[in-house]
Amino acid sequence: MHIHILGICGTFMGGIAAIARAAGHTVTGCDANVYPPMSDQLRALGIDLIEGFDASQADLKADIFVVGNVVTRGNPLMEAILERGLAYTSGPQWLADNVLRDKWVLAVAGTHGKTTTSAMLAWILDDARMRPGFLIGGVPQNFEVSARLTDSPFFVIEADEYDTAFFDKRSKFVHYRPRTVILNNLEYDHADIFPDLAAIETQFHHLVRTVPGNGLIVANGADANLERVLARGCWTPVEHFGAESTNGADGWTAGKADAQGSFDVFFNGTLQGRVKWELIGEHNRLNALAAIAAARHAGVPAATAIDALSRFENVKRRMEIRGAVHGITVYDDFAHHPTAIATTVEGLRAKIGKNRILAILEPRSNTMKLGVMKAQLPGSLTEADQVYCYGANLGWDAAEALAPLGEKARVFDNLDKLVSQLVADARPGDHVLMMSNGGFGGIHAKLLDALHHHYHEDIVLTPMHRYGGYA
C-alpha cells in the first residue's frame, strides 16, 4: 500500500511514517518545513519527502492520504483530495486500524509527563524482554528513536488530548482503545482548541469510556480534576498513585527521595523496592509510580520494573545538558506550561542548591502565544535568580506580564541581543536553563559558541544527565 502523509515532519506523524514503513508500506510525505532532524530520520528510512502542499501531489496515486492536524481547509493538496474524492484518514485513525487493533495498548495521558512516562513504561517492558512497539512524542535515550513497530502484542503510546484532524475534532486518544491507561494529571491547556477545563474533562471522560472492564486505569489520586472525570462514569478497575511520604496510603506511593533522587516504592502500604536513579523532582517520582503500576498490569512484577528504572536514560530535551563553558552549564528543556516551568525550575534548584539559575523562556506553544496563562508565569519562575523572556511574535506584553518579578526579569525581541546579555551576565557556577517546546532559534549552540569565544575555552559537551523536566 502507498501511503502519503500530510504534515509528516511532526513528531507524531513522523512516528506513524516510521511505523508504516516498518510494516512494509510504501511511504511518502510532505510538510511546509522539511528540515532536520526529522527529515534526515525519514529519508534514512527510505521515505521520500516533498516540500510544501502542492495540489499536484494528488497525482501520486497513493492508496490513502494520511492527514495530520496541522492541515486545514484551504490547504491546496487537501482541497484537491476532497474535490477528487480520494481516500483520506487521520493519523490516529490509521494507527488504530492498521497497528493497534490486535495489540494490548498501554496509553499515557495527561497534561504533563506523557512523554517521560511513556518512555519509562516502554523501557520497563523492553527490559523485561517484552519488546513493545511504541510511539512517543520525544526521543527516549534508551531507544534513540521515537517510534518502533515490533511483533510483540504490547504497544505503548503517548495519548495526546489535542484534536485529531480538521475533520475529526475529537482528541487523538479516543482512537487508541487502550487496555491499560495512565491518567497522569489534568490542567487547562490547548487554549486554541478548548474553551475551558470542562471541555478537556469531557474528552478525558470519552477516553475512560473506551477502556474495557478487564483493563486498568492508573490515575493520580491527588488530582481533583481527574477524580471529577472518573466520577462521571468508570467501568474499569482503578489504581491510584501519589507521592505520600508515608507507607500507609492505598495504591502506589513514593517515599521521600534522598539527595541522589532515589526513593522507596510502596503498594497498599507494602514496600516493593527502591528506585535508584538520579532524576530530580516529585513529578518524576509520580511518573515512575504510574509506569510501574501500568507495567505490572501487563505482567511485569513491580520489583522487576523498579530495577529497570535504575537503567532509564530519560528523554532528550528533558533537562538535557547541552554543554558547559568556564563553569557555566547550559540546559535544554521542553517546559512550556507554567506548571511544567515551575516544576523544572524547582527541580533544578533542589539539585544545585544555592548556585544561580538563569531561566530563559520562549512562550511558543499556541496556549502561551494567546497569553491565557501569562498571569501564572511570574509565580512559576520565582526560584530563578534571573529571568529572560524571548517576546517576539507574542500577542501580549511579556514585560508587563513579568513585571511582578521586578528587575530580575528582562524581555528581548532579538535573539542575538538575548545571547549577548546572557554572556555578559553569566558567571562560573551558573546554570542556564533554556525552556521552549521548539528549537528556540538554535539558542543553545549560539550561547555555547559565544561563551567559548568570550572565555577562550573549549566547550565541554556533556552526555545528557539522567534527570529531567516535567514533560
DSSP secondary structure string for all residues of 91-109: HHHHHIIIIITTSEEEEEE
The dihedrals phi and psi of 127, each to the nearest 5 degrees, come to -65, -25
Do residues 336 and 246 share a domain? no
Do residues 233 and 110 share a domain? yes
Domain C-terminal end among 67, 91, 115 = 91
Q: How distant is the alpha carbon of residue 238 from its chain centre?
A: 24
Model confidence at 250, pLDDT cuts 50, 70, 90, reads confident
- ∠136-142-147 over CA atoms, to 5°? 30
Question: How do beta strands 133-135 and 64-67 pair?
Answer: unpaired
Assign 429 to helix, strand or coil.
coil
What percentage of the chain has pLDDT greater than the value 90?
51
Do residues 380 and 450 share a domain? yes
CATH code of the domain containing 30: 3.40.50.720
With 70 as the cut, is the pLDDT of residue 173 above it? Answer: yes
Do residues 21 and 141 share a domain? no
Who wins on pLDDT, 255 or 297? 297
Distance CA 263, CA 385 (A): 29
The amino acid that residue 39 corresponds to is S
Distances (CA, A) of 56 to 13, 30, 59, 304: 21, 12, 6, 53
Contacts of 74 (CB under 8 A, 6+ apart): none
The C-alpha cell that represents 437 in the structure block? 517546546
Give tens-digit pLDDT for 279-330. 877 888 999 999 999 999 999 999 999 999 999 987 766 777 888 888 888 8
pLDDT, mean of residues 106-120: 92
The C-alpha cell that represents 55 in the structure block? 495540489
Model confidence at 68, pLDDT cuts 50, 70, 90, reads very high
With 60 as the cut, is the pLDDT of residue 19 above it? Answer: yes
**Quick one: CA dihedral 47, 50, 54, 57, positive or negative?**
negative
Whether residue 448 is contained in a domain is answered as yes
The dihedrals phi and psi of 155, each to the nearest 5 degrees, come to -140, 125
Count up the domains in the chain and report the number.
Answer: 3
Name which of 35-39, 279-283, 449-453, 458-462 the model is least confident about: 458-462
Nearest to 259 by CA among 352, 384, 344: 352
Do residues 58 and 139 share a domain? no
Whether residue 461 is contained in a domain is answered as no
Predicted pLDDT of residue 408: 86
Give tens-digit pLDDT for 134-164. 999 877 888 878 899 999 999 999 999 889 9
Give tens-digit pLDDT for 216-240. 999 999 899 999 999 999 999 999 9
CB 265 within 8 A of CB 302: yes
Distance CA 367, CA 192 (A): 6
Whether residue 467 is contained in a domain is answered as no
191-210 burial by CB neighbour count: b if 16+ within 10 A, else e? bebbeeeeebbebbbebbeb
CATH code of the domain containing 277: 3.40.1190.10
Whether residue 465 is contained in a domain is answered as no
- 275: domain range? 102-309
Model confidence at 466, pLDDT cuts 50, 70, 90, reads very low
With 80 as the cut, is the pLDDT of residue 132 above it? Answer: yes
The C-alpha cell that represents 383 in the structure block? 526560584
Mean pLDDT computed over every residue of the chain: 87
Do residues 366 and 398 share a domain? yes
Residue that has been written with the C-alpha cell 482548541 in this structure:
193
Do residues 106 and 87 share a domain? no
Cross-strand pairs, 129 = none
Name which of 8-12, 89-93, 105-109 the model is least confident about: 8-12
Distance CA 94, CA 80 (A): 20
Distance CA 31, CA 10 (A): 9
DSSP secondary-structure letter at 381?
T
**Quick one: CA dihedral 51, 52, 53, 54, positive or negative?**
negative
Predicted pLDDT of residue 36: 65
Whether residue 469 is contained in a domain is answered as no
Start-to-end Cα distance in the chain: 35
Domain C-terminal end among 91, 126, 152 = 91
The dihedrals phi and psi of 9, each to the nearest 5 degrees, come to -90, 0
With 80 as the cut, is the pLDDT of residue 25 above it? Answer: yes
Predicted pLDDT of residue 245: 47
The dihedrals phi and psi of 343, each to the nearest 5 degrees, come to -65, -40
319-332 burial by CB neighbour count: b if 16+ within 10 A, else e? bbbbbbbbebbbbb
Contacts of 64 (CB under 8 A, 6+ apart): 1, 3, 4, 87, 88, 89, 94
Predicted pLDDT of residue 97: 96
Do residues 145 and 67 share a domain? no
Contacts of 270 (CB under 8 A, 6+ apart): 247
Model confidence at 442, pLDDT cuts 50, 70, 90, reads confident
Model confidence at 183, pLDDT cuts 50, 70, 90, reads very high
Give tens-digit pLDDT for 187-225. 877 767 788 889 999 999 999 999 999 999 999 998 999
Do residues 187 and 240 share a domain? yes
Distance CA 399, CA 429 (A): 27
The amino acid that residue 433 corresponds to is L
Do residues 241 and 120 share a domain? yes
Whether residue 460 is contained in a domain is answered as no
Domain C-terminal end among 251, 283, 309 = 309
Do residues 58 and 157 share a domain? no
Nearest to 359 by CA among 434, 271, 275: 434
Q: Can the peptide bond before residue 338 be classed as cis, meaning omega within 30 degrees of 0?
A: no
Do residues 289 and 166 share a domain? yes
